[in-house]
Amino acid sequence: MPDSLWTAPLAAGPVDATVTVPGSKSLTNRALVLAALAAEPGYVRKPLRSRDTLLMAAALRSLGVGIEEVPGSAPGAGDDWRVIPGQLRGPVSVDVGNAGTVMRFLPPVATLADGPVSFDGDPRSHERPLGSVIEALRALGARIEDDGRGALPLTVHGTGGLDGGTVTVDASSSSQFVSALLLSGPRFNRGVEVRHAGGRLPSLPHIRMTVETLRAAGARVDAPEDGGEPDVWRVAAGALLGRDVTVEPDLSNAAPFLAAALVTGGRVVIPDWPARTTQPGDDLREIFTRMGGSCELTDAGLVFSGTGRITGIDADLGDVGELTPVIAAVAALADSPSTLRGIAHLRLHETDRLAALAKEIGDLGGEVAETEDGLRITPRRLRGGVFHTYEDHRLATAAAVLGLVVEGVQVENVATTAKTLPDFPGLWTSMLAGGPATSSTTPPAGAGGN
């Protein structure tokens, strides 16, 4: 059966709305892992409930961690999670879907289980790189069965603990390799020292996020940004605290909504925008200001306005690669060309994002050329048509941005946005209706967990 098409709504005029963006995927999944590895129960409040985080919760539950629904502390935000750590058990089968955080963060956790833990996921999960994590865990003492391709499927033969120690990895294809080894590090007998050796590390803010969340959970961490050796992180062995963590809104998922203000010359308010954060999405304030908008952090949240004029940019997005699809969509609507650099690793994301953006924006009449490490975008008059999304949530939200000002953009499989955003179409139409837009907290069908 062909995937369904969703006709992206055209904006009738400048948008003017307040959009409550659900919790951060990256923070929710780190909070779940750290709470599961803690020495005492804790809470994850205002968690994101999307495919990626429900898969993480389901995997941890099957490993023996209690994750209970408790009434939410924040009005209207849905239930919170109480996480009760326990002895991790096997045999267990984990479905990672196409979640990088699940497929990379959980194999190190599985070494602590008392039996085998097998991992598998969507077809794309077999193509996303994992070899550095597999080799690193073997070097630290783990037994792992795989088919030698450095990817899923695989089985970690947990023995209830791991020696740990020093390991060198090439994390140039994903920062998640470093984050994965650090997150479980406090539970390894000798802690862990991770040394990156290879090309440029992408998504550094996500590694800083890992370091901050570990420290907040009581771990002792040495990191390069504190005057340590470049590309070397050390996590000492030790018990993790059970904490009460409130998840920030997902600032990367704010991108399409801020873009809506930019491309329609409107105004969007995102409540609860943190004054300080490790989320890469915070860079949208600067990037979209350079592209013609203006923003202000107020008590009501981030107030972002467009003028209707959109300027192209030359930007290195290596630290904030996950923002690329929406930035590329905005760039295709600008009044001057853009060059997006430092993002070769996007070829290994949910899909090959560079190829997909070049093809799909190109099919609407745009001019997008792939470079060795990014995209060169020359704005052209766009026309409607089918925008294929390759089961990539951020391709779908990028297409919705184009559809605001290009009539007849039909987005294939918009439901794929549920990877990180529950009810994106509902949020989008509420934004266009001008009312307050708040996503439903109902989990997407087939997401696993409960």
Ligand X SMILES: O=C(O)C1=C[C@@H](OP(=O)(O)O)[C@@H](O)[C@H](O)C1
Give the residues lining the site for ligand PEP (CB under 6 A): 99-101, 322, 349-350, 394, 420
Which residue in 367, 386, 374 sits closest to 339, CA to CA?
374
CB of 138 to ligand PEP, least distance (A): 23
- Going along 46-133, which residue ranges are E strands? 66-70, 80-84, 92-95, 116-120
Residue 394: name its binding partner from ligand PEP, ligand X, none (Cβ under 5 to 8 Å by kind).
ligand PEP
Kindly report the backbone phi and psi dihedral angles of residue 93, in degrees, each rounded to the nearest multiple of 5, phi listed first. -110, 130
Which residue in 346, 304, 296 sits closest to 325, CA to CA?
346
Residue 165 neighbours by CB distance under 10 Å: 14
Binds ligand X (CB under 6 A): choice among 50, 98, 203, 417: 203
- Is residue 360 annotated as part of the catalytic site, yes or no? no
Pairing of strands 192-196, 5-7: unpaired
249 touching ligand X, by CB under 6 A: no
28 touching ligand X, by CB under 6 A: no
CB of 356 to ligand X, least distance (A): 15
Choice between 346 and 361, CB closer to ligand PEP: 346
**Is 419 a known ligand-binding residue?**
yes
CB of 405 to ligand X, least distance (A): 27
360 touching ligand X, by CB under 6 A: no
Residue 2 neighbours by CB distance under 10 Å: 6
**Is 179 a known ligand-binding residue?**
no
Binds ligand X (CB under 6 A): choice among 51, 208, 285, 345: 345
Name the token pair of 386: 């089918």
Catalytic residue among 248, 322, 360, 391: 322
Residue 175: name its binding partner from ligand PEP, ligand X, none (Cβ under 5 to 8 Å by kind).
ligand X
Choice between 177 and 387, CB closer to ligand X: 177
Which residue in 204, 230, 395 sits closest to 317, CA to CA?
204
Residue 203: name its binding partner from ligand X, ligand PEP, none (Cβ under 5 to 8 Å by kind).
ligand X
Residue length of the chain? 450
**Is 157 a known ligand-binding residue?**
no
Cis peptide before 230 (omega within 30 of 0): no
Name the token pair of 375: 């995209």
Dist CA 181 CA 221 (whole Å): 12
How far is the first Cα of the chain from the last one, in angstroms, to the nearest whole number? 28
CB 104 within 8 A of CB 61: no
Amino acid present at 96: V
Residue 202: name its binding partner from ligand X, ligand PEP, none (Cβ under 5 to 8 Å by kind).
ligand X
HEC secondary structure over 301-349: EEEEECCCCCCCCEEECHHHHHHHHHHHHHHHCCCCCEEEECCHHHHHC
Using CB under 6 A as the binding rule, the residues of this chain from 100 to 129 that contact ligand X are 100-101
**Is 149 a known ligand-binding residue?**
no
Choice between 242 and 281, CB closer to ligand PEP: 281
With contacts defined by CB under 6 A, name the span among 55-63, 201-209, 355-363, 408-416 that binds ligand X: 201-209
Name the token pair of 328: 């590329």
**Is 359 a known ligand-binding residue?**
no
**Is 187 a known ligand-binding residue?**
no
Q: Coil, strand, or helix at residue 197?
A: coil
Using CB under 6 A as the binding rule, the residues of this chain from 176 to 195 that contact ligand X are 176, 179
202 touching ligand X, by CB under 6 A: yes
Which residues would be at the binding site for ligand X (CB under 6 A)?
26, 100-101, 174-176, 179, 202-203, 206, 321-322, 345
Catalytic residues: 322
Binding site membership: which residues?
A: 25-26, 30, 100, 128, 174-176, 203, 322, 349, 353, 394, 419
Residues annotated within a binding site for 3-phosphoshikimate:
25-26, 30, 174-176, 203, 322, 349
